[in-house]
Amino acid sequence: MIKVMVIDDSALVRNAFKKILTGAKDIQLIATAANPVDAFNDFKKVGLPDVFILDIEMPKMDGLTFLKQINEQRPTPAIICSSLVSSGSKAAIDALKMGAVGLMQKPTIQLGSYFNEYRDEFINLIHVASKSKINYNMQMRKEDIKNHTANMKASNKIVAIGASTGGVQAIENIVKHLRPNHPAIVITQHIPTGFSKTFSQRLNNTVSSSEILEAKDGDKVLPGRILIAPGNLHMQVQKVEFDYVISLKDFPKVNSHKPSINVLFSSMAKEVKDRGVGIILTGMGDDGATKLKAMRDAGAKTYAQSEESCMVYGMPKEALRIGAAKESLSLHQIVNLINELK
């Protein structure tokens, strides 16, 4: 039985969750609280849940402060349900960095119909969260990162990375340790509309070795540059004469996602071939696995994140199962791999 606690200052939201979770066979709503301070008192009665559903803006204590405090004591998966999700807010990105498993939009009107419509999505996300490994404030050890040669010549390789649940943490840890003039990198992260821009700007402001951008149609794929797929468009890599450029496509979801990792990897297999390097990171489901296999068949080197370093070992596990990935690597091994590409 998955034990869930809802912390939200809206009584309407708390009651909506009571309704949609009633009847769920393997989920038990153990308590609701109007704010984190009251929730701490509830813990004395019911204990800690397996999963929190958490608002960000609340009286007495905000959701991020609570998430930081609880994860310093006992890391616990949290699903953020907030009106801030629609705006691509920095606070929601911070929550993902701190180990939040997912983001759900909280509407300001018609709450009942919204929660009924997305009941199955909430329940599925609770199941994903309950199986997640939260690594709060993930950090790589400096001694695990190999020293790279100063002024190393830029590689002509293009690295394509796909990630989902837990990917915000993993990607930030990777890009913080890349050498200057590193190979060109393109990333598809499953992320809501609006957040890809906030995420890329945040990384670009904190990482000095890379130019990190939300991808635009026609952007050149260049060494030292990292391009992140927009949250509402599929991203492809296309060869135009002697250059590789980004092509954004607005067609339906693939593998239930938009952007889809399979779309990116498929274009890499077709256009980049043996100059490509494919890496699939943490995430639920199988998006990216089949087209990572296509990349490998086209001559690319392909890898999957190791189970012990994943928040959710779904996509990497599937990639290894079907022979799409050459081998499994920890995050610091992925950094060393990229830094050593020639």
Sheet holding 78-82, edge to edge: 27-33, 2-7, 51-54, 78-82, 102-105
Q: Are strands 276-280 and 301-305 parallel, antiparallel or unpaired?
A: parallel
Annotation marks residue 332 as catalytic = no
Angle 224-229-232 from CA coordinates, rounded to 5°: 165
Annotation marks residue 257 as catalytic = no
Q: How far is the C-alpha of 207 from the C-alpha of 215, rounded, in Å?
A: 17
Annotation marks residue 182 as catalytic = no
Question: Can you spell out the DSSP letters for 147-167?
Answer: P--TTPPPP--EEEEEE-TTH
Angle 248-252-254 from CA coordinates, rounded to 5°: 90
Q: Residue 221 has what DSSP assignment? A: -
Catalytic residue among 82, 155, 164, 309: 164
| Pick from 65, 42, 43, 44: nearest CA to 54 | 65
Q: How far is the C-alpha of 246 from the C-alpha of 241, rounded, in Å?
A: 13
Catalytic residue among 130, 196, 287, 309: 287
| Pick from 103, 189, 173, 164: nearest CA to 135 | 173
- Return the SS3 of 281: coil
Catalytic residue among 190, 234, 257, 332: 190
The token pair that represents 215 in the structure block: 């991808």
Cβ(94)–Cβ(64) below 8 Å: yes
Angle 291-255-314 from CA coordinates, rounded to 5°: 75
How many CA atoms are closer than 13 Å to the CA of 65, on its beta-carbon side? 10
Active site residues: 164, 190, 287
